[in-house]
A and B are shown apart, each in its own frame.
Chain A
């Protein structure tokens, strides 16, 4: 064995000793369950039963109307939230990043507050806000502003339930993107912007040809994490509507939870899990391809 190889061998041994604790937990609590999830998705796996059934769970899934409805609701949530989150975060960040440090950190805190407050606390207060009788939403919109004509069952009416949930989701989803945009706008080369302004470019042109390209990697990252998070929308549903009324707000993640933890259909739940993982992987990949074309890494 040559000398460099020997050194590399030694480094390898040391490195794996340093890596051992993380690897142990990663293998036992991430990789093994992942493998189990994939394998058991081919089984009829319940409290009483554990038999191999091939791809029957997958066939069942694609014929399951509730699954279809959950998929549709999930996609509505993703499509409804991602563009708004990006636009909203861009707006807030562009209005605050040039201000002084105190103002910046004030706005960071304001928009991060719903995230830190925690899903449960945020959700229970919104449940009260949406309460048709004692909630403040109907009071303000009906009695004060007169925008709506009669009190609305925000979470109980299938016309409004999903949109009501998306609104809460949005308040918890913009905090991190705003922080990321503020950081990345602070890194834009100021001399480029000034040069363009001297050359007579208007604000829109400056934004479009100078700022936007340098924000692209951040935007890509924000789109990917927001998509992944929206795909996993669960707590709001479980705490507010339990998927109702009549499955109008059931998401894939909630459906998976219901199958696994309420009905003990572990195999079928894992099939939905595998589907969800593949969907998320594919969509992240496509987003990288689409948005990432002219992005340098």
Chain B
């Protein structure tokens, strides 16, 4: 395909480059800032590159603050949520796509409507309920409410539509029971969906600040995002230290994203409701 470089084309490339710099800059500023001492961080003119790089911010975070524990909590919450969401959603998505049962249409519409409902709106009653269950300020308080969220069901239904019905029927004729059919016939086919959902859930849970904020309280139970937010409230102008915290929160999840980018993109595009 031939491409002429039009004035608009040149203009577009310039704009794209400027935007790229603007969008990458905050991340760059977090990373470089995390190696600046407090004095260097507030200097004007700003240091575009840390002139006296130091590890003192990370040391303060990990020694004087339980940032290691916060990271561990974040990873644990994300892994457990991811596992539970993926297993429950793929079971549900499979039957919604491949079975004909009473109440199916109604159930599916309820899921779709609930998906549009902002989670934050039910957060107040949810927190009261979780407190009533004696689970407030535990990691379960963050995990359990995320499992019933219907996005995963919808995504897995989309992927399950690809399972050939003949394959399921021949498995039945061969005497496979339902669970066996699901595991050995359906699951291998929906595996890309499973991966997409896993990565999607992991990233969303990691960054689900509001839920963590209202569910967790004591210092040792915080997640890394919530921990950084707490530090910011306590020492708002120690930017070097805050940036080191932001780096600890961002680097693991950005790495996960870059590694699994393809699965993630697939999850986003397949999850778009167009039907």
Contact = CB atoms under 8 A, between A and B. Distances in A.
A34 B30 CA distance: 38
Contact of A124 (B22, B42, B242, B265): B242
Given A124-B246, A125-B30, A95 B16 contact: yes
A231 B268 CA distance: 21
A12 to B, nearest CB: 4
B228 A124 contact: yes
Contacts of B150: 22, 26, 30
A205 to B, nearest CB: 15
Interface stretch (A67-75, A76-84, A110-118, A156-164): A110-118
A188 B124 CA distance: 44
B122 A171 contact: no
Contacts of B101: 8, 11-12, 14-16
Given A120-B249, A124-B245, A274-B121, 4 more contacts: A21-B92, A29-B129, A121-B30, A183-B265
Interface in B244-262: 245-247, 249-250, 253-254, 257-258, 261
Nearest to A234: B210
Contacts of A32: 125, 129
Contacts, number: 266
A284 B214 CA distance: 27
B191 interface: no
B44 A134 contact: yes
Contact of A116 (B104, B118, B246, B257): B257
Contact of B253 (A116, A179, A238): A116
Q: Size class of B's contact patch?
A: 35 or more
B20 A37 contact: no
Contacts of A16: 101
Given A125-B30, A125-B243, A180-B269, A26 B114 contact: yes
B128 A36 contact: yes
Nearest to B274: A217
Given A8-B101, A33-B129, A118-B225, A276 B269 contact: no
Contacts of A280: 116-118
A26 B250 contact: no
B102 A8 contact: yes
Contacts of B95: 14-15, 18-19
A105 interface: yes
B102 A120 contact: no
Contacts of A19: 91-92, 95-96, 107
A269 B257 CA distance: 36
Contacts of B258: 109
A69 to B, nearest CB: 19
B272 A109 contact: no
A179 B23 contact: no
Interface residues of A, number: 91
Mostly helix, strand, loop or mixed at chain A's interface?
helix
Most buried by A among B125, B126, B225, B243: B125
A239 interface: yes
Nearest to B149: A30
A272 B232 CA distance: 28
B7 interface: no
B23 A37 contact: no
A129 interface: yes
A280 B118 CA distance: 8
B193 interface: no
B234 to A, nearest CB: 12
A269 B125 CA distance: 10
A241 interface: no
Contacts of B272: 180, 218, 221
Given A92-B16, A261-B214, A273 B116 contact: no
Interface in B113-142: 114, 116-118, 120-129
